[in-house]
Structure 1
Amino acid sequence: MRAKRFLVATAMIVLTFSSLFLSSCSSSKIATNSGGDTAERYAAALADYNKKDYDDAALTLEALMFSVRGSALEDDVLFYLAQSYFNTKQYLLSAEMYSRLLQLNAGSPYTPTAQFQLAKSHEKLSSHYEFDHEHTKKAIQQYALYIEQYPGRDSAVVAADIQTYQELLKINPANANYQDQLAVLKLESERSGSLSYAKNAIKTFRDKLARNKVSIAHQYIQLGKPKGAVIFYDEVIRFYPDTIYLEAAWKGKVDALILRKKWMEAGQALDQYLQLYPEKQDQMKGSRDKIMQNFGNS
């Protein structure tokens, strides 16, 4: 009986190892096959992308991520996967893929576009001025980095060079050097447009952050807490002097200091305000009179 059980157990062990061996061989074969058709699958994904079938492209590219690791196709897969996410409004995922591409290969031909698109992904995630501004700040940082790394030439100079080569090609349309130079200049012109966009975006987002501070300061005034309001007005004055909310911050600070009956500080703030905005002299006459009257009596 014991011998019979031993034979059965032995048979089961042999079957188990045979199954594992066959499974291993099968897995190895699948891996080999998947490696063999990587280029074809990438081409299919790119075809889907070019047809704007971004969801299908993303599915294929996601499956390729690990098989192309360390290969010449790795940055291609990451870039078009990021683009597919961006075009389907999955901005957190697109930001992650652009970041991964930038960390992976700083010399990739996709790097300038990836840096710009990373900033734009954070721009899309930027919330209303009253809410959290994590992505607003990240968008500013990434656009600033794009401008720093790819400054480019003045757009007017580039446009003049394009016109020059277009005229030269009218004279000698078969000149390959002229054709190449014109193609390079057109790419540079496109880059100039993205630089202009980045600069405008930074200004817009800095205005948004300043507006957030002014809004919080106003809330403190409404709550009868002018001391808290002064803190946020000062943040705008100190950190966002280039924004459209600087004037509101200075005036708000003067009014808040008057509410606190800090007459000397209010007078100093009013002097600074009027140095920046002398056209407001008449408008602020009432505040000046109130400060002088109470300062003299204090």
Structure 2
Amino acid sequence: MFKIKHVLLLSFTIIALTIAGCKSQFEKIRLSNDVAKKYQEAMRLYNKKNYSKALILFEDLSQKYRGRAEAEELNYYYALTLFKLRDYTTARYQFKSFADSYPTSKYAEECRYMSAYCYYLDSPRPSLDQENTYKAIDALQLFINFYPKSERAVEAAKYIGILRTKLEDKAYANAKMYYEIGGNGGEASNYRAAVIALKNAQIDYPDIKYSEEMDLLMIKSQYAFAKNSIEERQEDRFTEAITYANEFAEAHPESKYLKEANALKKDSESGIESAKRFIAERLANYEKYKSQLTKEAKRDSSAINTIKTPNR
């Protein structure tokens, strides 16, 4: 038993010393002033996919190689190493910096593309802020403008399409959110906000894949907005819902949502009639109330005159 423990302890010691030896060898190279040897070791580590250690050496070398002919190759692999480590924010900066600094380099096209591609990879899911998505589209389009005949231009166009779809998803989700907030006890103004958001989304994305759903949601939002408004405003607002329903029927005559759109139109027409009746009844009650006040005022006036001129 003692021998087994002794052997295990010895094995662990040897492994630990081996690791320590490797580490000290790396540190020795890192602290060395032999830039050629350091660059050689950085490339060896990069090719061995030990990107974390390679990055340490590339970062140190980038300062020492500044202004030298070897800097071009070094900066290229420095950017690639950052990309391999998924530090897309820093990588895209380094790729763009390379393309701007070495516009005639054999790596210039690739680096400009990779800078845009890093923006694409940093684009968040539709529910989050889409600033990076817009920047990615601009960067990818700029690449296409620079290299319209490049094979990478085809890839760039494909990614732009994916990003635009993400923005469409975001626009539709935002509009739907306003509608759902209104239905969960929110203010009627949220329904109007949904209508505005839907209109703006269709202006920004005329070929949006959610066209039918958005047109129907516009009718539903406007109908809900009208229904939750005061009676004096309902006629105009229901009329707008009817207009949207008519436009839906014209734009989507074979839609599976057509029956629902027509039902909302009918409900809007009923809403107008109901609002008119309510206003008419209230007006009639007001006129009746005013007439009653007039009669009471005359009666009170007559009584006062009787008191002032008593019978003799």
TM interval, shorter chain, is 0.5 to 0.7
One-letter identity of the residue aligned with 1:289: K
TM-score, with length taken from structure 2:
0.64
In the TM superposition, 1:1-298 aligns within 5 A as 34=33, 37-152=34-149, 191-192=150-151, 194-224=152-182, 225-261=190-226, 262-280=237-255, 281-294=258-271
Counterpart residue type for residue 179 of structure 2: I
Higher relative contact order (CA 8 A, sep 6+): 1
Superposition deviation, residue 61 in structure 1 = 1.2
Q: Matches of 1:68 and 1:291 in 2, distance apart? A: 74
**Helix, strand or coil: the match of 1:200?**
helix
- 1:137-176 C-alpha deviation (Å, 9 max, x unpaired): 2221111122222122xxxxxxxxxxxxxxxxxxxxxxxx
Which protein is bigger by CA-based radius of gyration?
2
Sort the Cα spacing of 1:145 and 1:246 in 2 relative to 1 into closer, same or farther, 3 A.
farther
Greater mean alpha carbon deviation, residues 66-75 or residues 138-147: 66-75
1:38 deviation in Å? 3.9
Tell me whether 57-66 or 195-204 shows the greater mean CA deviation: 195-204
CA displacement at 1:282 relative to structure 2 = 4.2
> Which amino acid letter does the alignment assign opposite residue 177 of structure 2?
Q
Query: In structure 1, what is the Cα distance between the partners aligned to 2:221 and 2:132?
Result: 31
**How far 1:64 sits from its partner (Å)?**
1.5
Question: Partners of 1:234 and 1:211 in 2: how far apart?
Answer: 15
Q: Report deviation, 1:40.
A: 4.5
Count of aligned positions: 225
Deviations 1:205-256, CA, capped at 9 Å, x for gaps: 1121121222222221122120111222122101122332333322222221
Where 2:126 maps in the other structure, the secondary structure is: coil
- Cα distance between partner residues in 2 of 1:45 and 1:260: 65
Take 2:128 and 2:48, find their aligned partners in 1: how far apart are those partners? 37
Letter in 1 for 2:170: N
- Aligned match of 1:165: none
Matches of 2:108 and 2:247, distance apart in 1: 45
Unaligned runs of 5+ in 2: 1-31, 183-189, 227-236, 277-312
CA contact (8 A) 2:248 2:261 kept: no
Checking the alignment, whether the CA contact within 8 Å between 1:254 and 1:270 is kept in structure 2 is yes
Change (3 A) 1:51 1:249: same
In structure 2, relative to structure 1, the CA distance for the partners of 1:273 and 1:141 (3 Å cut) is farther
The alpha-carbon deviation at position 57 of structure 1 amounts to 2.1
Instruction: Note if contact 1:206-1:243 (Cα within 8 Å) is conserved in structure 2.
Output: no
Is the 8 Å Cα contact of residues 237 and 250 (structure 1) preserved in structure 2?
A: no
TM-score norm. by structure 1 comes to: 0.67
Residue segments in structure 1 that go unaligned for 5+ positions in a row: 1-32, 153-190
Give the drift of 1:289. 2.8
Distance 1:150 1:296, change over 3 A: farther
- Residues 170-216 of structure 1 deviation map (CA, whole Å, 9 limit, x = unaligned): xxxxxxxxxxxxxxxxxxxxx52x33332222122112112122222
The alpha-carbon distance between structure 1 residues 107 and 231, as it changes in their structure 2 partners (threshold 3 A), is: farther
Letter in 2 for 1:252: L
| Conserved 8 A contact 1:236-1:246 | no
The verdict on how the C-alpha distance between 1:227 and 1:51 changes in structure 2, with shifts beyond 3 A counting, is same
Assess, with a 3 A threshold, how the Cα gap between structure 1 residues 202 and 72 changes in structure 2: closer, same or farther: same
Q: How much is the aligned-residue C-alpha RMSD, in angstroms?
A: 2.5
